[in-house]
Structure 1
Amino acid sequence: MGVADQLPHALNDPEEFANALAGRRPAVFLDYDGVLTPIVERPEDARMSPEMRDVVRALADRTPVCVVSGRDRSVVQDLMGVTDLVVAGSHGFDIWHPQRGTLQHPAASGFEDLVGELTDRLRREVGGLDGVQVEPKHASVAVHYRRAGSAARNAVADLVRTLLTERPDEIKVTPGKMVYELQPKIDWNKGRAVDYLIDTLGLNRPDLVPVYLGDDVTDEDAFRALRDRGVGVYVGDPTTLDRPTQAHFHLTTVPEVTRLLASLAL
Protein backbone atom coordinates (compact mmCIF):
# COMPACT_ATOMS: atom_id res chain seq x y z
CA MET A 1 0.00 0.00 0.00
CA GLY A 2 0.98 3.62 -0.38
CA VAL A 3 1.52 6.36 2.14
CA ALA A 4 -1.42 8.14 3.73
CA ASP A 5 -1.50 11.12 1.38
CA GLN A 6 -2.42 8.67 -1.38
CA LEU A 7 -5.41 7.42 0.60
CA PRO A 8 -8.89 8.94 0.45
CA HIS A 9 -9.81 11.26 3.30
CA ALA A 10 -12.54 9.73 5.47
CA LEU A 11 -14.42 13.06 5.74
CA ASN A 12 -13.60 14.71 2.43
CA ASP A 13 -14.52 11.56 0.49
CA PRO A 14 -17.76 10.67 2.28
CA GLU A 15 -19.18 8.62 -0.57
CA GLU A 16 -16.13 6.37 -0.69
CA PHE A 17 -16.16 5.97 3.08
CA ALA A 18 -19.88 5.13 2.99
CA ASN A 19 -19.19 2.56 0.28
CA ALA A 20 -16.60 0.93 2.54
CA LEU A 21 -19.20 0.59 5.30
CA ALA A 22 -21.66 -0.82 2.75
CA GLY A 23 -24.68 -0.06 4.91
CA ARG A 24 -23.29 -1.99 7.87
CA ARG A 25 -23.08 -0.69 11.42
CA PRO A 26 -19.48 0.06 12.46
CA ALA A 27 -17.83 -1.69 15.40
CA VAL A 28 -15.28 0.98 16.30
CA PHE A 29 -11.76 0.36 17.63
CA LEU A 30 -9.82 3.43 18.76
CA ASP A 31 -6.21 3.99 19.65
CA TYR A 32 -5.87 6.57 22.43
CA ASP A 33 -2.84 8.87 22.03
CA GLY A 34 -2.95 10.72 18.72
CA VAL A 35 -6.54 9.66 18.03
CA LEU A 36 -8.73 10.46 21.04
CA THR A 37 -6.27 13.09 22.29
CA PRO A 38 -3.38 14.95 20.66
CA ILE A 39 0.19 13.83 21.28
CA VAL A 40 1.59 15.91 24.17
CA GLU A 41 5.00 16.44 25.75
CA ARG A 42 4.09 14.66 29.02
CA PRO A 43 2.14 11.40 28.62
CA GLU A 44 0.21 12.04 31.83
CA ASP A 45 -1.24 15.25 30.33
CA ALA A 46 -3.02 13.46 27.48
CA ARG A 47 -6.54 13.74 28.85
CA MET A 48 -9.53 13.35 26.59
CA SER A 49 -11.45 16.58 26.02
CA PRO A 50 -15.08 16.89 27.21
CA GLU A 51 -16.21 17.19 23.58
CA MET A 52 -14.45 13.97 22.57
CA ARG A 53 -15.77 12.23 25.68
CA ASP A 54 -19.34 13.18 24.79
CA VAL A 55 -18.89 11.98 21.22
CA VAL A 56 -17.41 8.65 22.30
CA ARG A 57 -20.22 8.11 24.79
CA ALA A 58 -22.83 8.90 22.12
CA LEU A 59 -21.14 6.49 19.72
CA ALA A 60 -21.00 3.74 22.36
CA ASP A 61 -24.75 4.13 22.88
CA ARG A 62 -25.25 3.22 19.24
CA THR A 63 -22.56 0.67 18.42
CA PRO A 64 -19.72 -1.35 19.97
CA VAL A 65 -16.68 0.78 20.87
CA CYS A 66 -13.33 -0.57 22.06
CA VAL A 67 -10.20 1.38 22.96
CA VAL A 68 -6.91 -0.32 22.02
CA SER A 69 -3.86 1.40 23.45
CA GLY A 70 -0.23 0.88 24.23
CA ARG A 71 -0.88 2.43 27.63
CA ASP A 72 -1.79 0.49 30.72
CA ARG A 73 -5.51 -0.18 30.75
CA SER A 74 -6.14 1.56 34.08
CA VAL A 75 -4.18 4.62 32.92
CA VAL A 76 -6.26 4.88 29.75
CA GLN A 77 -9.48 4.67 31.73
CA ASP A 78 -8.32 7.42 34.06
CA LEU A 79 -7.22 9.70 31.22
CA MET A 80 -10.47 9.15 29.33
CA GLY A 81 -12.69 9.74 32.32
CA VAL A 82 -14.77 6.84 30.96
CA THR A 83 -14.90 3.44 32.66
CA ASP A 84 -17.73 1.67 30.84
CA LEU A 85 -15.97 0.86 27.55
CA VAL A 86 -14.04 -2.23 26.54
CA VAL A 87 -10.35 -1.31 26.85
CA ALA A 88 -7.38 -3.30 25.57
CA GLY A 89 -4.33 -1.83 27.29
CA SER A 90 -0.62 -2.60 26.92
CA HIS A 91 -1.04 -3.31 23.18
CA GLY A 92 -3.80 -5.78 23.93
CA PHE A 93 -2.07 -7.74 26.69
CA ASP A 94 -4.58 -6.48 29.29
CA ILE A 95 -8.21 -6.54 28.07
CA TRP A 96 -11.09 -5.47 30.27
CA HIS A 97 -14.86 -5.60 29.73
CA PRO A 98 -17.23 -3.44 31.83
CA GLN A 99 -19.58 -6.35 32.53
CA ARG A 100 -17.27 -9.36 32.27
CA GLY A 101 -14.14 -7.92 33.88
CA THR A 102 -10.71 -9.08 32.71
CA LEU A 103 -10.79 -11.14 29.52
CA GLN A 104 -8.15 -13.85 29.74
CA HIS A 105 -6.17 -14.88 26.68
CA PRO A 106 -2.85 -16.69 26.11
CA ALA A 107 -0.77 -13.48 26.30
CA ALA A 108 -2.46 -12.04 29.37
CA SER A 109 0.03 -13.11 32.06
CA GLY A 110 3.25 -14.89 32.89
CA PHE A 111 5.71 -12.11 32.12
CA GLU A 112 5.70 -10.15 35.37
CA ASP A 113 9.26 -11.11 36.39
CA LEU A 114 10.69 -10.24 32.98
CA VAL A 115 8.96 -6.86 32.90
CA GLY A 116 10.10 -6.15 36.45
CA GLU A 117 13.73 -6.90 35.59
CA LEU A 118 13.62 -4.69 32.49
CA THR A 119 11.97 -1.87 34.43
CA ASP A 120 14.63 -1.99 37.14
CA ARG A 121 17.44 -1.94 34.57
CA LEU A 122 15.97 1.00 32.65
CA ARG A 123 15.34 2.99 35.82
CA ARG A 124 18.84 2.32 37.11
CA GLU A 125 20.72 3.17 33.92
CA VAL A 126 18.67 5.88 32.17
CA GLY A 127 15.74 6.71 34.43
CA GLY A 128 17.63 9.57 36.07
CA LEU A 129 18.52 11.33 32.81
CA ASP A 130 16.82 14.66 32.14
CA GLY A 131 13.74 14.25 29.96
CA VAL A 132 13.68 10.43 30.14
CA GLN A 133 10.63 8.73 31.65
CA VAL A 134 10.36 5.01 32.37
CA GLU A 135 6.77 3.75 32.38
CA PRO A 136 6.13 0.18 33.59
CA LYS A 137 2.98 -1.42 32.24
CA HIS A 138 0.95 -4.59 32.68
CA ALA A 139 3.09 -6.67 30.30
CA SER A 140 5.73 -4.28 28.99
CA VAL A 141 7.83 -1.27 29.92
CA ALA A 142 8.12 1.94 27.92
CA VAL A 143 10.93 4.47 28.02
CA HIS A 144 9.92 7.91 26.76
CA TYR A 145 12.53 10.38 25.48
CA ARG A 146 10.46 13.13 23.86
CA ARG A 147 11.76 15.79 26.30
CA ALA A 148 15.33 14.46 26.42
CA GLY A 149 18.42 15.98 24.81
CA SER A 150 20.49 14.20 22.19
CA ALA A 151 22.95 12.68 24.68
CA ALA A 152 20.16 11.19 26.79
CA ARG A 153 18.35 9.93 23.69
CA ASN A 154 21.52 8.19 22.53
CA ALA A 155 21.99 6.62 25.96
CA VAL A 156 18.43 5.25 25.85
CA ALA A 157 18.93 3.87 22.35
CA ASP A 158 22.23 2.24 23.36
CA LEU A 159 20.64 0.57 26.38
CA VAL A 160 17.71 -0.72 24.35
CA ARG A 161 20.12 -2.24 21.83
CA THR A 162 22.11 -3.80 24.66
CA LEU A 163 19.01 -5.37 26.20
CA LEU A 164 17.95 -6.81 22.85
CA THR A 165 21.43 -8.25 22.35
CA GLU A 166 21.48 -9.76 25.83
CA ARG A 167 17.99 -11.29 25.68
CA PRO A 168 17.19 -11.81 21.99
CA ASP A 169 14.85 -14.74 22.63
CA GLU A 170 12.91 -13.09 25.45
CA ILE A 171 12.15 -9.50 24.45
CA LYS A 172 11.26 -7.40 21.45
CA VAL A 173 11.14 -3.63 21.04
CA THR A 174 8.18 -1.78 19.59
CA PRO A 175 9.20 1.71 18.45
CA GLY A 176 6.68 4.54 18.77
CA LYS A 177 6.59 8.30 18.72
CA MET A 178 9.65 9.20 20.84
CA VAL A 179 9.30 6.03 22.89
CA TYR A 180 10.69 2.50 22.96
CA GLU A 181 8.44 -0.23 24.29
CA LEU A 182 10.05 -3.45 25.49
CA GLN A 183 7.67 -6.42 25.41
CA PRO A 184 7.83 -10.19 25.81
CA LYS A 185 8.80 -11.75 22.49
CA ILE A 186 5.55 -13.48 21.68
CA ASP A 187 3.14 -13.28 18.77
CA TRP A 188 0.76 -10.73 20.25
CA ASN A 189 0.02 -7.17 19.10
CA LYS A 190 -2.86 -4.78 18.47
CA GLY A 191 -3.93 -6.77 15.43
CA ARG A 192 -4.13 -10.00 17.39
CA ALA A 193 -6.01 -8.14 20.13
CA VAL A 194 -8.56 -6.79 17.63
CA ASP A 195 -9.07 -10.26 16.16
CA TYR A 196 -9.56 -11.64 19.68
CA LEU A 197 -12.08 -8.91 20.57
CA ILE A 198 -14.06 -9.43 17.37
CA ASP A 199 -14.40 -13.14 18.12
CA THR A 200 -14.88 -12.87 21.90
CA LEU A 201 -17.45 -10.05 21.73
CA GLY A 202 -19.42 -11.64 18.90
CA LEU A 203 -18.68 -8.84 16.43
CA ASN A 204 -18.01 -11.12 13.48
CA ARG A 205 -21.48 -10.58 12.03
CA PRO A 206 -22.65 -9.63 8.52
CA ASP A 207 -24.39 -6.48 9.79
CA LEU A 208 -21.19 -5.12 11.44
CA VAL A 209 -17.94 -3.85 9.98
CA PRO A 210 -14.89 -3.27 12.22
CA VAL A 211 -13.41 0.23 11.85
CA TYR A 212 -10.01 0.94 13.42
CA LEU A 213 -8.51 4.42 13.93
CA GLY A 214 -4.80 4.66 14.78
CA ASP A 215 -1.84 6.93 14.32
CA ASP A 216 1.33 4.98 15.11
CA VAL A 217 3.42 2.16 13.68
CA THR A 218 1.94 -0.23 16.28
CA ASP A 219 -1.49 0.37 14.74
CA GLU A 220 -0.33 -1.11 11.43
CA ASP A 221 -0.86 -4.58 12.92
CA ALA A 222 -4.53 -3.70 13.43
CA PHE A 223 -4.83 -2.16 9.97
CA ARG A 224 -3.31 -5.34 8.55
CA ALA A 225 -5.70 -7.55 10.52
CA LEU A 226 -8.68 -5.65 9.08
CA ARG A 227 -7.30 -5.16 5.58
CA ASP A 228 -9.75 -7.59 3.97
CA ARG A 229 -12.63 -7.49 6.44
CA GLY A 230 -12.82 -3.98 7.86
CA VAL A 231 -11.83 -0.34 7.51
CA GLY A 232 -8.55 1.16 8.73
CA VAL A 233 -8.15 4.93 9.21
CA TYR A 234 -4.69 6.42 9.67
CA VAL A 235 -4.72 9.59 11.80
CA GLY A 236 -1.91 12.10 11.29
CA ASP A 237 -0.26 14.50 8.90
CA PRO A 238 0.01 12.47 5.68
CA THR A 239 3.02 14.45 4.47
CA THR A 240 5.14 13.17 7.37
CA LEU A 241 4.34 9.47 6.96
CA ASP A 242 7.22 7.85 5.09
CA ARG A 243 6.17 4.23 5.53
CA PRO A 244 3.63 2.16 3.63
CA THR A 245 0.37 1.77 5.49
CA GLN A 246 -2.33 -0.88 5.46
CA ALA A 247 -5.01 1.71 6.25
CA HIS A 248 -7.82 2.38 3.78
CA PHE A 249 -8.47 6.06 4.64
CA HIS A 250 -6.83 8.87 6.53
CA LEU A 251 -7.70 11.79 8.80
CA THR A 252 -5.22 14.51 9.65
CA THR A 253 -6.17 15.83 13.09
CA VAL A 254 -7.90 14.83 16.31
CA PRO A 255 -10.74 17.33 15.64
CA GLU A 256 -11.37 15.46 12.38
CA VAL A 257 -11.59 12.25 14.41
CA THR A 258 -14.23 13.94 16.57
CA ARG A 259 -16.23 14.86 13.46
CA LEU A 260 -16.03 11.36 12.01
CA LEU A 261 -17.06 9.67 15.27
CA ALA A 262 -19.93 12.16 15.64
CA SER A 263 -21.15 11.24 12.15
CA LEU A 264 -20.98 7.53 13.00
CA ALA A 265 -23.02 8.18 16.15
CA LEU A 266 -25.96 9.62 14.20
Structure 2
Amino acid sequence: MTAPASTVRDLPHALRDAGLFTRRVAGRRPAVFLDYDGVLTPIVDRPEDAVISAGMRDTVRALARCLPVCVVSGRDRPVVQQLMGIDDLVVAGSHGFDIWSPKEGTIQHDAASGFEDLIEKVTDRLRAEAGSIPGVVIEPKRASVAVHYRLVDPQEHDRIRATVDALLAQYRGQLKVTPGKMVYELQPKIDWNKGRAVLYLLSRLGLDSPDVVPVYLGDDITDEDAFRALRGRGISIIVGHADDPEVGDRATAADFVLESTTEVERLLSTLAH
Protein backbone atom coordinates (compact mmCIF):
# COMPACT_ATOMS: atom_id res chain seq x y z
CA MET A 1 0.00 0.00 0.00
CA THR A 2 1.39 3.40 -1.01
CA ALA A 3 2.09 5.72 1.89
CA PRO A 4 0.71 9.26 1.86
CA ALA A 5 3.22 11.61 0.25
CA SER A 6 1.80 15.02 1.16
CA THR A 7 0.16 17.04 3.86
CA VAL A 8 -3.13 18.73 3.11
CA ARG A 9 -1.52 22.18 2.91
CA ASP A 10 0.87 20.93 0.18
CA LEU A 11 -1.87 19.78 -2.21
CA PRO A 12 -2.93 21.60 -5.39
CA HIS A 13 -6.40 23.11 -5.32
CA ALA A 14 -8.94 21.28 -7.49
CA LEU A 15 -10.53 24.51 -8.77
CA ARG A 16 -7.81 27.14 -8.73
CA ASP A 17 -4.56 25.50 -9.77
CA ALA A 18 -4.19 26.04 -13.52
CA GLY A 19 -6.45 23.28 -14.77
CA LEU A 20 -4.53 20.45 -13.09
CA PHE A 21 -7.73 18.66 -12.16
CA THR A 22 -9.15 18.96 -15.68
CA ARG A 23 -5.95 17.55 -17.16
CA ARG A 24 -6.08 14.60 -14.76
CA VAL A 25 -9.59 13.79 -15.99
CA ALA A 26 -8.14 13.85 -19.53
CA GLY A 27 -11.36 13.33 -21.46
CA ARG A 28 -12.48 10.32 -19.47
CA ARG A 29 -15.94 9.99 -17.90
CA PRO A 30 -15.86 10.68 -14.16
CA ALA A 31 -17.61 8.32 -11.75
CA VAL A 32 -18.12 10.43 -8.64
CA PHE A 33 -17.99 9.07 -5.08
CA LEU A 34 -19.03 11.45 -2.30
CA ASP A 35 -18.71 11.27 1.45
CA TYR A 36 -21.64 12.95 3.18
CA ASP A 37 -20.58 14.77 6.36
CA GLY A 38 -17.97 17.43 5.62
CA VAL A 39 -18.44 17.11 1.85
CA LEU A 40 -22.13 17.49 1.02
CA THR A 41 -22.86 19.27 4.27
CA PRO A 42 -20.60 21.08 6.76
CA ILE A 43 -19.55 19.36 9.97
CA VAL A 44 -22.01 20.20 12.75
CA ASP A 45 -22.09 19.66 16.50
CA ARG A 46 -24.94 17.14 16.40
CA PRO A 47 -25.08 14.44 13.69
CA GLU A 48 -28.82 14.81 13.22
CA ASP A 49 -28.38 18.47 12.22
CA ALA A 50 -26.30 17.68 9.11
CA VAL A 51 -29.05 18.25 6.56
CA ILE A 52 -28.00 18.93 2.98
CA SER A 53 -28.82 22.37 1.57
CA ALA A 54 -31.34 22.77 -1.24
CA GLY A 55 -28.61 24.09 -3.54
CA MET A 56 -26.30 21.14 -2.92
CA ARG A 57 -29.19 18.70 -3.34
CA ASP A 58 -30.05 20.22 -6.73
CA THR A 59 -26.39 20.09 -7.78
CA VAL A 60 -26.04 16.42 -6.86
CA ARG A 61 -29.25 15.59 -8.70
CA ALA A 62 -28.04 17.44 -11.81
CA LEU A 63 -24.70 15.62 -11.64
CA ALA A 64 -26.41 12.23 -11.30
CA ARG A 65 -28.38 12.87 -14.49
CA CYS A 66 -25.16 12.87 -16.54
CA LEU A 67 -22.58 10.88 -14.54
CA PRO A 68 -22.52 7.89 -12.16
CA VAL A 69 -22.76 9.21 -8.57
CA CYS A 70 -22.40 7.15 -5.37
CA VAL A 71 -22.51 8.34 -1.77
CA VAL A 72 -20.10 6.54 0.58
CA SER A 73 -20.66 7.39 4.23
CA GLY A 74 -19.91 6.18 7.71
CA ARG A 75 -23.51 6.83 8.63
CA ASP A 76 -26.25 4.25 8.38
CA ARG A 77 -27.51 4.11 4.83
CA PRO A 78 -31.20 4.93 5.58
CA VAL A 79 -30.09 7.93 7.68
CA VAL A 80 -27.98 9.30 4.82
CA GLN A 81 -30.85 8.88 2.38
CA GLN A 82 -33.24 10.68 4.72
CA LEU A 83 -30.83 13.58 5.32
CA MET A 84 -30.14 13.95 1.60
CA GLY A 85 -33.76 13.76 0.51
CA ILE A 86 -32.54 11.89 -2.58
CA ASP A 87 -33.65 8.30 -3.08
CA ASP A 88 -32.31 7.44 -6.54
CA LEU A 89 -28.55 7.29 -5.89
CA VAL A 90 -26.33 4.34 -5.06
CA VAL A 91 -25.52 4.69 -1.35
CA ALA A 92 -22.90 2.76 0.61
CA GLY A 93 -23.63 3.34 4.30
CA SER A 94 -21.79 2.16 7.41
CA HIS A 95 -18.41 2.53 5.64
CA GLY A 96 -19.62 0.38 2.77
CA PHE A 97 -21.07 -2.47 4.81
CA ASP A 98 -24.62 -1.60 3.70
CA ILE A 99 -24.83 -0.93 -0.06
CA TRP A 100 -28.07 -0.07 -1.82
CA SER A 101 -28.90 0.77 -5.42
CA PRO A 102 -32.17 2.06 -6.87
CA LYS A 103 -32.11 -0.74 -9.46
CA GLU A 104 -31.19 -3.71 -7.25
CA GLY A 105 -32.11 -2.68 -3.72
CA THR A 106 -29.71 -4.04 -1.09
CA ILE A 107 -26.50 -5.36 -2.65
CA GLN A 108 -25.16 -8.31 -0.71
CA HIS A 109 -21.43 -8.87 -0.28
CA ASP A 110 -19.22 -11.01 1.94
CA ALA A 111 -18.59 -8.30 4.57
CA ALA A 112 -22.26 -7.38 5.01
CA SER A 113 -23.30 -9.47 8.03
CA GLY A 114 -22.29 -11.55 11.03
CA PHE A 115 -21.35 -8.81 13.50
CA GLU A 116 -24.73 -7.57 14.76
CA ASP A 117 -24.42 -9.12 18.24
CA LEU A 118 -20.95 -7.65 18.73
CA ILE A 119 -22.08 -4.12 17.84
CA GLU A 120 -25.12 -4.43 20.11
CA LYS A 121 -22.94 -5.45 23.08
CA VAL A 122 -20.44 -2.64 22.45
CA THR A 123 -23.23 -0.09 22.12
CA ASP A 124 -24.79 -1.18 25.42
CA ARG A 125 -21.43 -0.90 27.17
CA LEU A 126 -20.78 2.57 25.77
CA ARG A 127 -24.19 3.77 26.89
CA ALA A 128 -23.61 2.40 30.38
CA GLU A 129 -20.10 3.81 30.84
CA ALA A 130 -20.05 6.99 28.76
CA GLY A 131 -23.66 7.81 27.97
CA SER A 132 -24.13 9.93 31.07
CA ILE A 133 -21.20 12.26 30.28
CA PRO A 134 -22.69 15.65 29.33
CA GLY A 135 -22.39 16.31 25.61
CA VAL A 136 -21.64 12.72 24.56
CA VAL A 137 -23.61 11.49 21.54
CA ILE A 138 -23.61 7.73 21.01
CA GLU A 139 -24.70 6.88 17.48
CA PRO A 140 -25.47 3.18 16.91
CA LYS A 141 -25.26 2.06 13.29
CA ARG A 142 -25.82 -1.14 11.38
CA ALA A 143 -22.14 -2.07 11.29
CA SER A 144 -20.53 0.14 13.93
CA VAL A 145 -21.15 2.52 16.79
CA ALA A 146 -19.81 6.07 16.97
CA VAL A 147 -19.02 8.07 20.10
CA HIS A 148 -19.13 11.81 19.35
CA TYR A 149 -17.46 14.09 21.89
CA ARG A 150 -17.38 17.50 20.16
CA LEU A 151 -19.73 18.91 22.82
CA VAL A 152 -17.95 17.26 25.77
CA ASP A 153 -15.86 19.16 28.33
CA PRO A 154 -12.19 18.53 27.37
CA GLN A 155 -11.55 17.30 30.92
CA GLU A 156 -13.78 14.30 30.15
CA HIS A 157 -12.04 13.33 26.90
CA ASP A 158 -9.62 10.96 28.64
CA ARG A 159 -12.54 9.18 30.30
CA ILE A 160 -14.13 8.54 26.93
CA ARG A 161 -10.85 7.31 25.47
CA ALA A 162 -10.38 4.98 28.46
CA THR A 163 -13.82 3.45 27.83
CA VAL A 164 -12.95 2.89 24.17
CA ASP A 165 -9.58 1.36 25.09
CA ALA A 166 -11.24 -1.00 27.58
CA LEU A 167 -13.63 -2.22 24.88
CA LEU A 168 -10.78 -2.78 22.44
CA ALA A 169 -8.98 -4.83 25.10
CA GLN A 170 -12.08 -6.87 25.94
CA TYR A 171 -12.82 -7.62 22.28
CA ARG A 172 -9.24 -7.92 21.10
CA GLY A 173 -9.15 -9.33 17.59
CA GLN A 174 -12.85 -8.62 17.05
CA LEU A 175 -13.06 -4.85 17.28
CA LYS A 176 -11.16 -1.88 15.87
CA VAL A 177 -11.45 1.87 16.32
CA THR A 178 -11.21 4.58 13.68
CA PRO A 179 -10.72 8.08 15.12
CA GLY A 180 -12.36 10.94 13.25
CA LYS A 181 -13.24 14.57 13.83
CA MET A 182 -14.09 14.47 17.55
CA VAL A 183 -15.48 10.96 17.22
CA TYR A 184 -14.40 7.37 17.82
CA GLU A 185 -15.91 4.82 15.45
CA LEU A 186 -15.91 1.24 16.76
CA GLN A 187 -16.21 -1.37 14.02
CA PRO A 188 -15.76 -5.11 13.51
CA LYS A 189 -12.11 -5.91 12.86
CA ILE A 190 -12.44 -7.18 9.33
CA ASP A 191 -10.77 -6.19 6.08
CA TRP A 192 -13.45 -3.82 4.85
CA ASN A 193 -13.47 -0.04 4.62
CA LYS A 194 -14.47 2.79 2.29
CA GLY A 195 -11.63 1.95 -0.08
CA ARG A 196 -12.70 -1.66 -0.42
CA ALA A 197 -16.28 -0.50 -0.89
CA VAL A 198 -15.34 1.89 -3.72
CA LEU A 199 -13.36 -0.79 -5.55
CA TYR A 200 -16.27 -3.21 -5.14
CA LEU A 201 -18.72 -0.63 -6.51
CA LEU A 202 -16.51 0.13 -9.51
CA SER A 203 -16.59 -3.54 -10.43
CA ARG A 204 -20.24 -4.20 -9.53
CA LEU A 205 -21.51 -1.15 -11.44
CA GLY A 206 -19.42 -1.79 -14.55
CA LEU A 207 -17.26 1.29 -14.02
CA ASP A 208 -13.88 -0.45 -13.87
CA SER A 209 -12.74 0.47 -17.38
CA PRO A 210 -10.05 2.72 -18.94
CA ASP A 211 -12.54 5.32 -20.15
CA VAL A 212 -13.86 5.93 -16.60
CA VAL A 213 -11.98 7.89 -13.94
CA PRO A 214 -13.18 7.47 -10.33
CA VAL A 215 -13.29 10.80 -8.46
CA TYR A 216 -13.62 10.50 -4.68
CA LEU A 217 -14.33 13.44 -2.34
CA GLY A 218 -13.89 12.97 1.40
CA ASP A 219 -12.84 14.90 4.46
CA ASP A 220 -12.01 12.52 7.27
CA ILE A 221 -9.47 9.89 8.27
CA THR A 222 -11.80 7.09 7.16
CA ASP A 223 -11.70 8.52 3.63
CA GLU A 224 -7.94 7.92 3.45
CA ASP A 225 -8.69 4.24 2.74
CA ALA A 226 -10.50 5.32 -0.43
CA PHE A 227 -7.76 7.80 -1.36
CA ARG A 228 -5.17 5.04 -1.11
CA ALA A 229 -7.34 2.53 -2.99
CA LEU A 230 -7.62 4.92 -5.94
CA ARG A 231 -3.92 5.84 -6.13
CA GLY A 232 -2.82 5.42 -9.74
CA ARG A 233 -6.33 4.80 -11.08
CA GLY A 234 -8.49 7.71 -9.94
CA ILE A 235 -8.54 11.19 -8.45
CA SER A 236 -8.97 11.88 -4.74
CA ILE A 237 -9.96 15.22 -3.24
CA ILE A 238 -9.83 16.02 0.46
CA VAL A 239 -12.20 18.70 1.72
CA GLY A 240 -10.82 20.89 4.48
CA HIS A 241 -9.06 24.18 5.07
CA ALA A 242 -5.29 24.12 5.46
CA ASP A 243 -5.56 26.72 8.24
CA ASP A 244 -7.64 24.30 10.32
CA PRO A 245 -5.25 22.73 12.87
CA GLU A 246 -7.15 19.42 12.57
CA VAL A 247 -6.53 19.36 8.83
CA GLY A 248 -3.57 21.35 7.50
CA ASP A 249 -0.67 19.21 8.70
CA ARG A 250 -2.42 15.87 8.25
CA ALA A 251 -0.62 13.39 6.00
CA THR A 252 -2.93 12.39 3.17
CA ALA A 253 -3.04 10.22 0.06
CA ALA A 254 -5.37 12.70 -1.68
CA ASP A 255 -4.38 14.36 -4.95
CA PHE A 256 -6.20 17.68 -4.53
CA VAL A 257 -7.86 19.83 -1.88
CA LEU A 258 -11.08 21.82 -1.73
CA GLU A 259 -11.53 24.14 1.23
CA SER A 260 -15.29 24.03 1.85
CA THR A 261 -18.59 22.46 0.92
CA THR A 262 -19.24 25.61 -1.14
CA GLU A 263 -16.23 24.73 -3.30
CA VAL A 264 -17.45 21.13 -3.51
CA GLU A 265 -20.74 22.41 -4.91
CA ARG A 266 -18.86 24.50 -7.49
CA LEU A 267 -16.79 21.51 -8.65
CA LEU A 268 -19.80 19.22 -8.87
CA SER A 269 -21.67 21.86 -10.84
CA THR A 270 -18.73 22.12 -13.23
CA LEU A 271 -18.68 18.33 -13.72
CA ALA A 272 -22.43 18.38 -14.40
CA HIS A 273 -21.90 20.78 -17.29
Residue of 215, 222, 231 corresponding to 1:218: 222
Residue of 120, 124, 133 corresponding to 1:120: 124
Shift of 1:243: 2.3
Count, aligned residues: 266
Residue of 242, 258, 272 corresponding to 1:251: 258
Shift of 1:178: 0.6
Tell me the secondary structure at the aligned position of residue 173 of structure 1. strand
Tell me the secondary structure at the aligned position of residue 155 of structure 1. helix
Q: Scaled by the length of structure 2, what TM-score is found?
A: 0.96
Residue of 185, 195, 202 corresponding to 2:199: 195
Shift of 1:14: 4.8
Q: Residues 86-121 of structure 1, C-alpha deviation per residue, up to 9 Å, x if partnerless?
A: 000011111111110111111101100000000000
Residue of 3, 8, 32 corresponding to 2:7: 3
In structure 1, how many angstroms separate the alpha carbons of the residues matched to 2:137 and 2:8? 30
Task: Report what 1:169 is aligned to.
Answer: 173
Task: Report what 1:152 is aligned to.
Answer: 156
Task: Report what 1:110 is aligned to.
Answer: 114
Q: Percent identity?
A: 64
In structure 1, how many angstroms separate the alpha carbons of the residues matched to 2:238 and 2:154? 29
| Structure 1 residues 165 and 139: CA distance shift in structure 2, 3 A | same
CA RMSD in angstroms comes to 0.9
Shift of 1:151: 3.4
User: Which is worse superposed, 198-207 or 33-42?
Assistant: 198-207
In structure 1, how many angstroms separate the alpha carbons of the residues matched to 2:46 and 2:18? 35
Structure 1 unaligned spans of 5+: none
In structure 2, how many angstroms separate the alpha carbons of the residues matched to 1:23 and 1:2? 26
Shift of 1:4: 1.6
Contact residue 132 and residue 152 of structure 1 kept, 8 A: no
In structure 2, how many angstroms separate the alpha carbons of the residues matched to 1:142 and 1:185? 15
Task: Report what 2:139 is aligned to.
Answer: 135
The amino acid that maps onto 2:266 is R
Residue of 230, 233, 238 corresponding to 1:229: 233
Task: Report what 1:265 is aligned to.
Answer: 272
In structure 2, how many angstroms separate the alpha carbons of the residues matched to 1:165 and 1:115? 15
The amino acid that maps onto 1:38 is P
User: Which is worse superposed, 97-106 or 48-57?
Assistant: 97-106
User: Which is worse superposed, 251-260 or 148-157?
Assistant: 148-157
Residue of 51, 60, 63 corresponding to 1:47: 51
In structure 2, how many angstroms separate the alpha carbons of the residues matched to 1:209 and 1:71? 25
Tell me the secondary structure at the aligned position of residue 165 of structure 1. helix
The amino acid that maps onto 1:88 is A
Q: Scaled by the length of structure 1, what TM-score is found?
A: 0.98
In structure 1, how many angstroms separate the alpha carbons of the residues matched to 2:255 and 2:34? 15
Structure 2 unaligned spans of 5+: none
